[in-house]
């Protein structure tokens, strides 16, 4: 992907130009290219100090890209796998949970379009929503009531 002679900082900036990355992600991707111990930490510290690496922007980016298709649990897992923790993740997950039912209903509507006709179809719909990370209550309400909760 990157040229052989590219510096750690250059590689990091290339990754950041494509999308937001957490410090943890950049560290994992750039470790194989570190030539002297401590060099990578220094580069990442510089990028963080200049605002190129920002955990809140990573959280916002992931939520923006994934919320239309995934539930709060799955997005929370993705954020944690990027090395993000703390209040920013908790607040994002809380916001997602407040819209979980509407988002689950929309994902269900795009995939299935009509209520399950039998128990097997219902189970399939429930498994699909669960695999997308939606909560049990939202899944139950969407599959059981289909569009009844429209207000």
Per-residue pLDDT tens for 99-148? 999 999 999 999 998 888 999 999 999 999 999 999 999 999 999 885 45
Q: Which of 10, 12, 7, 108 is nearest to 53 (CA)?
A: 12
Contact at 8 Å (CB) between 74 and 138? Answer: no
Looking at residue 3, its pLDDT comes to 52
Q: Which of 36, 30, 35, 37 is nearest to 9 (CA)?
A: 30
pLDDT over 50 at 149, yes or no:
no
Looking at residue 148, its pLDDT comes to 54
Rounded mean pLDDT, 59-85: 96
Instruction: Map out the domains of the chain as residue ranges.
Output: 8-49, 55-98, 100-145
Q: How many CB atoms lie within 10 A of CB 108?
A: 23
Looking at residue 11, its pLDDT comes to 96
Rounded mean pLDDT, 90-104: 96
pLDDT over 80 at 151, yes or no:
no
CA distance 121 to 130: 14
CA distance 116 to 144: 9
CA distance 109 to 57: 30
pLDDT over 60 at 1, yes or no:
no
* Tokens read off for 91: 């607040």
Percent of the chain with pLDDT strictly greater than 70: 93
- For domain 100-145, is the CATH number 1.10.10.10? yes
Contact at 8 Å (CB) between 20 and 61? Answer: yes
What is the rounded average pLDDT for all residues in the chain? 92
Which of the pair, 85 or 4, is modelled with greater confidence? Answer: 85
């Amino acid at each position: 992907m990157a040229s052989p002679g590219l510096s750690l900082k250059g590689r990091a900036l290339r990754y950041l130009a494509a999308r937001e990355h957490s410090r943890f992600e950049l560290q994992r991707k750039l470790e194989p290219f570190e030539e002297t111990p401590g060099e990578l930490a220094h580069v990442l510290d510089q990028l963080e100090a200049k605002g190129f690496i920002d955990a809140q922007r990573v959280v916002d980016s992931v939520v923006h890209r994934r919320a239309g298709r995934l539930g709060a649990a799955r997005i929370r897992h993705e954020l944690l796998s990027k090395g993000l923790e703390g209040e920013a993740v908790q607040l994002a997950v809380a916001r997602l949970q407040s819209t979980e039912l509407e988002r689950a209903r929309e994902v269900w509507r795009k995939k299935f379009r009509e209520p399950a006709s039998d128990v097997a179809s219902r189970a399939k719909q429930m498994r699909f929503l669960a695999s997308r990370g939606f909560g049990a209550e939202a899944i139950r309400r969407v599959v059981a009531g289909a569009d009844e909760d429209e207000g």
